[in-house]
Amino acid sequence: MTTKLLQFVNIKKEMPKKRGSSLRLKDFNEIYNDFNKLEGKKQAGRCSQCGIPFCQVHCPLQNNIPDWLKLAAENRLEEAYEVSHSTNNFPEICGSICPQDRLCEGNCVIEKGFESVTIGRVEKHITDTAWKKGWIKPLNPPKEIDKSIGIIGSGPAGLAAAEELRKKGYKIEVYDRYDRPGGLLIYGIPNFKLEKYAVERRTQILKKGGIVFHNNFEVGNTKSFDFLRKKHNAILIATGVYKARELDFSEENLTGVVPALDFLITSNKKGLGDNVPEFDNGELNSTDKNVVVIGGGDTAMDCVRTAVRQNAKSVTCLYRRNRENMPGSMREVFHAEEEGIHFSWLSVPTKFRGVNGHVNIDVAKVALGESDASGRMIPKTLLNKTHTLKADLIIKALGFNPENIPKMFDEPKLKVTNWGTLKIDHNTMMTSEPGVFAAGDIVRGASLVVWAIKDGRDAAESIHKYLIKC
């Protein structure tokens, strides 16, 4: 029987079944169930197979989305996986955490009136099936090349580059400061958005394919950057950005005010079964506390949704703009509201004050003015309209800046931009130092995982072209 496509007129858009908020708050597991074979096939069959696929155009990886949707609708899942993986090293990860509402699904041509195809969850369904069926094998390069690349950072950019270069036969060694590979995929993103087994099985199969990982390795401390340069034929810096942005007022050194990443790393380590004193002694644990999270991006949503799962007494998100001007995914905001998070829109902190073991936050209201270059309305603080908010734990989720890589690596010749990111030749992705390349957030600033994967793939191709000439 021939599978019918263009079923968006007859079949409604559906996500996989979602666990109720009261149930999912009891654990850190994924909030959606997986599509079964029939559900995945039906949703894939809603694709209109349009002549100009805007879903693909608006995907940073230019994924061949209509092609693998058609194959999935025809139950040709192994072929669908091959097409998906040909442009995306981690399709199941992107299927879970990409803001599809802003990228592929948000630009689906059938969205108006019929709603978009459920691209992300079909993508995850295809790859999860591939894992279950044993279709995903370790890398087996056609030949071995007697040249090696050292990759600093095992986040999405570093891992994507490692896989692409290993496919060609290069010797790859990945260095990372943390005790597990995966970077923010392991430690920055909560389990309810990305279950850690999905990252661990990827890194395990990369190891089986010949990629060597060095964990607990701090460049400039464990070994010098110069040591790595002499050891390898090329270097890729893919460290990401981890330095927390600060508020624009001076803060007292108050107990109970913490950066978002410290909070998320602690929670994720606890979930992985590690001994985490900062969690156990309550320093970075929100249980029975009134929690205020400052910020409006995806990191802020990760924090509020983590806090409520830790049985916080109350959780408030303080954001200086309104819902329409939030930088994060609207889907994430909706999930947070379902889970009982209170949003204080058009609100900005102006001062923290320690009072009897608590932290009082002076909060001013905000008026929105004209739009800035990003299209979001510019906030103006109304200092004549203030109130006080009491909290036991304040989490600052204001975004991230790059660390001083030249100083950390003791390599002053590495040039940086005015924003502190590494300066590269965007045609070659090479830094100011020959044979040293950079990719991901350390070049573009804090961004999406899918962009980091794209940058890692592009860097791998540039490194290959460079080494061919050497």
pLDDT of residue 51: 87
In the prediction, which pLDDT does 371 show? Answer: 86
DSSP helix, strand, coil percent of the chain (3-state; round to 5): 35, 20, 45
CB-based contact 363:371 (threshold 8 Å): no
CA-CA distance, 302 to 290, in Å (whole number)? 17
User: In terms of DSSP H, where are the helices of 143-190?
Assistant: 156-167, 184-187
Contact residues for 199 (Cβ-Cβ < 8 A; gap 6+): 93, 182, 185, 186
Burial class (CB in 10 A: 0-12, 13-18, 19+), 200: middle
Fold of 148-241+402-469: FAD/NAD(P)-binding domain (3.50.50)
- Residue pair 93/84 in contact (Cβ under 8 Å)? The answer is no
Q: Which pTM does this prediction carry?
A: 0.95
Residue with tokens 């950019």: 157
Residue 383: the pLDDT is 87
Instruction: Name which of 70, 67, 77, 54 is nearest 7 in CA terms.
Output: 70
> What integer pLDDT is reported at residue 220 of this predicted model?
95
Strands 377-391 and 358-371: antiparallel
CB–CB of 161/456 below 8 Å?
yes
d(CA 234, CA 232): 5
E-assigned strands of 239-376? Answer: 243-244, 257-259, 290-294, 314-318, 342-344, 347-355, 358-371
Q: What does the alpha-carbon distance between residue 63 and residue 88 come to, in Å, rounded to a whole number?
A: 7
Type and span of the H or E element at 260: helix 260-271
Residue 84: in which H helix or E strand, if any? helix 77-87
**Count of other CB atoms within 10 angstroms of residue 384:** 7
- Report the pLDDT value the prediction gives residue 1, as an integer from 0 to 100: 40
CB 64 within 8 A of CB 47: no
425 φψ region: left (φ > 0), alpha (ψ -120 to 50), beta (else): beta
Q: For residue 456, list its beta bridge partners.
A: none
Sequence-distant (≥ 6) Cβ neighbours of residue 98 within 8 angstroms: 104, 120, 448, 449, 450
247-396 shares the fold of 148-241+402-469: yes
Dump the DSSP string for 340-388: T-EEE-SEEEEEEEEETTEEEEEEEEEEEEEE-TTSPEEEEEEEEEEEE
CB count in 10 Å sphere of residue 22: 10
What is the CATH class of 7-133?
mainly alpha
| Structural domain spans, the chain | 7-133, 148-241+402-469, 247-396
Is residue 396 classed as helix, strand or coil in its secondary structure?
strand
Q: Residue 391 is inside which H or E element, if any?
A: strand 377-391
pLDDT value of position 65: 97
Q: Can you tell me the distance from the alpha carbon of 402 to that of 155, in angstroms, rounded to the nearest whole number?
A: 15
Expressed in angstroms, the distance from the first to the final Cα of the chain is 55
pLDDT tens for the chain, 470 residues long, are: 445 666 776 888 999 999 999 999 999 999 999 999 999 999 999 999 998 999 999 999 999 999 999 999 999 999 999 999 999 999 999 999 999 999 999 999 887 778 999 999 999 999 999 999 999 999 999 999 999 999 999 999 999 999 999 999 999 999 999 999 999 999 999 999 999 999 999 999 999 999 999 999 999 999 999 999 999 999 999 999 999 999 988 777 788 999 999 999 999 999 999 999 999 999 999 999 999 999 999 999 999 999 999 999 999 999 999 998 888 888 999 999 999 999 999 999 999 998 887 899 999 999 999 888 878 888 999 988 899 999 999 999 999 999 999 999 999 999 999 999 999 999 999 999 999 999 999 999 999 999 999 999 999 999 999 999 88
Architecture of domain 247-396: 3-Layer(bba) Sandwich (3.50)
Q: What is the DSSP letter of 2?
A: P
User: What length is written for the chain?
Assistant: 470
The tokens of 469 are what? 């000439």
